[in-house]
Amino acid sequence: MTRVLVIDDDRLQYRLLQQHFRNFRRGSYELDWSETYEDGLARLLTGAYAVCLLDYRLGQRDGLQLIQEAAASGCRTPIVFLTAESSDNIDIQAMEAGALDYLVKGEISPHSLERSLRYALKLGDTLEALRRLATRDELTGLLNRREYERILAEEEERSVRFGHPLALVIVDLDRFKSVNDLHGHSAGDAVLKEAARRIAGAIRTVDRVARIGGEEFALILVQTDRASALEVARRAIAAVASEAIAAGGGLSLPVTASAGVAELPSGAQGAAGLFAAADKALYAAKAGGRNRAVSAPQARGTP
């Protein structure tokens, strides 16, 4: 069942759309209706809908504003724009705002509406796949290095603005090169995937984890001080070492990891300084015997 949200302040238009849906040739749809800007936006942001049909005129506000506000909040639901005006200008504005298709109300038929929905759903899936390729590491499914850098810069700005601490944990698998050298890259890939899964399981849903190098991972911990971040780091490396990792062909390998921890603002200044401090702490963990977490010291002059 494909859930569709209709945001339109005209009840009659909603009834007409319902009738069109009953005449679709294929597919099964569940239609929900919202008649106000505020309620429509709130429902759209739940992420519960596969596609949205959005009216241009919504009282004192319009659908273009709603698309922009939804996008700013991270909404990726495909949107088909509905308007009574057959204007190229409205068409262009809708597409620039983020709508995937455009229908003139007086020209809607069951065939054109069904076609538009299929198009929006297919294009939405394609765009989501492209976004994933651009932001995710292909092997582990974690965030990639580019997305990690973008998010860290964003969270640094938020940390400064609201005065909240921001912590970074760098986790590196110990002696990983020997896995590839002794057992081959397929075994190494299996170890990386399982270690990534275990590390990701050590953080909260509001935190982020990325693969930033071959066997190196970064945990971005929001509103987290150094002591709490150190606990997360210890939990992550304990998860990695909790049991041997199946590497294919009946092979199971014991794996450990080391971690370095740093925090803004007490342990570093800026995103680059935060990474440098965490990386230095990681080297200290390696030098101290591996399979451990080390926290960067507090910077001078910080309370």
d(CA 119, CA 141): 27
Give the whole-angstrom CA distance, residue 47 versus residue 116. 20
User: What is the distance, to the nearest Å, from the Cα of residue 301 to the centroid of all Cα atoms in its chain?
Assistant: 36
Buried/exposed code over 189-208 (b: 16+ C-beta within 10 A; e: otherwise): bbbbebbbebbbebbeeebb
Beta-carbon count within 10 A of 5 CB: 22
Under 8 Å between Cβ of 39 and 61:
no
For residues 6 and 31, is the Cβ–Cβ distance under 8 A?
Answer: yes
194 as an active site residue: the answer is no
Q: Is 12 exposed, middle or buried (0-12, 13-18, 19+ CB in 10 A)?
A: exposed
Which one of 114, 147, 156, 215 is the catalytic residue? 215
The structure tokens 């170890």 sit at 191
Cβ pair 66, 38 in contact under 8 A: no
H or E element, residue 162: helix 145-162
3-state secondary structure of 136: strand
Distance (Å, whole) CA 275 – CA 189: 25
Please give the distance of CA 201 from its chain centroid, rounded to a whole number: 16
Q: Which residues are part of the catalytic machinery?
A: 215
